[in-house]
Amino acid sequence: MTSMSRARVARRIAAGAAYGGGGIGLVGAAAVGVVLAEVRMARTAVGNGNSGGRVPTADGRYGDGYGNPGEGHEPPLRLAILGDSTAAGQGVHRAAQTPGALLASGLAAVAERPVELRNVAQPGAQSDDLDRQVALLLGSTTPVPDVCVIMIGANDVTRRMPPTRSVRHLSAAVRRLRTAGAEVVVGTCPDLGTIEPVRQPLRWLARRASRQLAAAQTIGTVEQGGRTVSLGDLLGPEFAANPRELFGPDSYHPSAEGYATAAMAVLPTVCAALGLWPAEEERPDVTRREGFLPVARAAAEAAAEPGTEVTAAMPTGPRGPWALLKRRRRQRVEPPDLPAGPVAEETRSRATTTNQDG
């Protein structure tokens, strides 16, 4: 499928989400049925893995060494994580290895300010759970997060949620968070074609479905004022080349190295959303094939290339809204120490028992 064809499919899905449609499929019904049968077999294999269904909790403050507000320093930045098991960090055993902890630690280092992390992601969640997760964040007594990172979509594909419905829920969540004053970065649907238990020739169908949803998610997110980062390499080429190194013990969820790879891709966009990236880095670099494109074309290109960022540019154009496509240099992140204070004691001692389902 060409880039223009992928762009047209993504635009149709996003348009269906905006106008209430629900009948646009990602792949043919018969093909989806075969893929789902294969995925169920994969889940059986996943269920025999060693992740134990326990997700370490990493909420708390990171970067305390950068001072506290009482001493004339700026207050901590507030980072929230929403989504499914990938956002929660299922598959690793230490809080410091979860994507939330890695992003909080990296953000603190770039901003030279402490970062307060709150993770409301739910393993097994589909996009229709985002409404509940957003309500948890905005309905609490704590201030609105400065930036929210959402990772969602894999379960929507495997459980056959209509893509228009999936994008509609994601767009609504982004809109609510942006209206409340938070910056939003969405890690789009990962490439399910590289899950080890799924065999060829069905992998290409899973890859196609994943990329189509990722592109449609990008359009919906950008149109609501958020930014996206394609997470194809969360379960993508690097994982396919190094499955024993980059997949976790259950062969489905990432390992600590896999989560670090994803965090390295997302961190620069999180920093840019908060105005923390150097100004010269915000200009398109033609040597990295960056530039302004119609949003559907940018979404299709990003879905095909892991780690690519898409953000809104011009609101109108001859082919609809335009977006800026960037291929940012990844920022190395190191596993942090656990946060200090009362929350850390809970973090060290508490793990949430969840299902094994994505």
Q: What residues are labeled active site? A: 85, 250, 253
Q: Which two tokens stand for residue 59?
A: 């909420």
DSSP annotation of 117:
E
Whether 110 contacts 271, CB under 8 Å: yes
CA 143, 106, 324, 26 torsion: positive or negative? negative
Angle between helices 99-111 and 256-273 (to 10 degrees): 40
For residue 211, give Cα distances in angstroms to 205, 266, 350.
Answer: 10, 18, 36
CA 156, CA 166: separation in Å to the nearest integer?
7
For residue 230, give Cα distances in angstroms to 34, 269, 303, 339.
Answer: 26, 11, 6, 29
* Cis peptide preceding 114, ω within 30 of 0: no
Q: Which phi-psi region, left, alpha or beta, contains residue 266 (left: φ > 0; alpha: ψ -120 to 50)?
A: alpha
Residue that has been written with the tokens 């949803």 in this structure? 213
